[in-house]
Amino acid sequence: MKLGPWQLPGRVLLAPMAGITDLPFRRLCRRFGAALAFSEMVTSDTSLWGSAKTLSRLRHGGEPPPVAVQILGNDPAAMAEAARRNVDLGAHVIDINMGCPAKKVCRRAAGSALLRDESLVGRILEAVVQAVPVPVTLKIRTGWDPDHRNAPRIARIARESGIALLTVHGRTRACGFAGEAEYETIRLVKQQVDIPVVANGDIDDEEKAAWVLQFTGADAIMVGRAARGRPWIFRHIDHFLERGRRLPPPGRGWIGAVLLEHLEALYEFYGERHGVRIARKHIAWYSRDLEGGAEFRRQINAVHSAGEQRRLIESFFLGNAGRQAPASGEATPGGMPHEFRGDIHAIQ
């Protein structure tokens, strides 16, 4: 699939997720096969860009191109300026958020609240497309609520405004993340426009990914929550789509090696104190399906240093011998599927 001048290497994309898709996680997912990884949303109010949180979201050092940055706001001029500023900072793709269902976002008439004002949608899209020389993409929901599913009309506005790619999460804003995603609307959207359409929502394994692509006719799929603690899911899905069979699941030791390298990147990116706190949620996701995980999480949530986190992770995932995560070029711990050999490198 092409996105402007970029030929994407696969059909599985990482969704933008606030508090999750920071630079360390995006780089990890890209290495494990994500064709594109969107940043956490960045406000279009550039007066707020001095905060530590926003500054971290504007960092792209070492991120493989194309770098995709999502912006959020409701004023066409401000959105255009934010797009220009992000391109100056290294963005190769600008994504516009019209899908966030969070109350604090919708109260400001941003995110999915914009779907209620189709005229404003058009003005924002046109302003941003005209402001930057890079591809502009759009992420939406199917509508504000089940009685107002207007995604097909929004899709036509997007096409006419010059949007290069459209992602549709198969729920309305009112649905939040409850219930099952409705793919019928995504299929209808794909039938309405001739730009690439990406299907998003409840895609959590290989068979589901293949079915969604077939049912909706979408050009690609986007994985969000299912990638938490499983950054290798992109390669698993791509392998299934190409060969029709699953890769074997990674072993416990191999998962531990990936987690340790993820944590080292977090400590470096945020500093040890903040990195340790950020790491806790990722540790919970990596360990959620493993025997003894509940007790392990109780223990590790009580520690406050990187060294203590490493020690407990080495013991839980790699055994009491406390084997270290592999350095670049070294073999990974036991349990690694053959197809992954050589894929674990330090996140520099």
Rounded distance, CA 231 to CA 164, Å? 26
**Exposure on the CB side of residue 290, measured as CA atoms within 13 A:** 24
Q: Distance (Å, rounded) from C-alpha 37 to C-alpha 24? A: 11
- Our CA angle for 8, 13, 15, nearest 5°, is 140
**In angstroms, rounded to a whole number, what is the distance separating the alpha carbons of residues 62 and 42?**
19
Sequence-ordered alpha helix ranges (H) in 171-320: 183-192, 206-216, 233-243, 252-270, 272-287, 293-300, 306-318
Place of tokens 């309305």: 172
Catalytic residues: 100
The number of angstroms, rounded, from the C-alpha of 87 to the middle of its chain's C-alpha atoms is: 19
User: In the Cβ-directed half-sphere of 170, how many Cα atoms lie within 13 Å?
Assistant: 26
Measured distance CA(206)–CA(247) in Å, rounded: 10
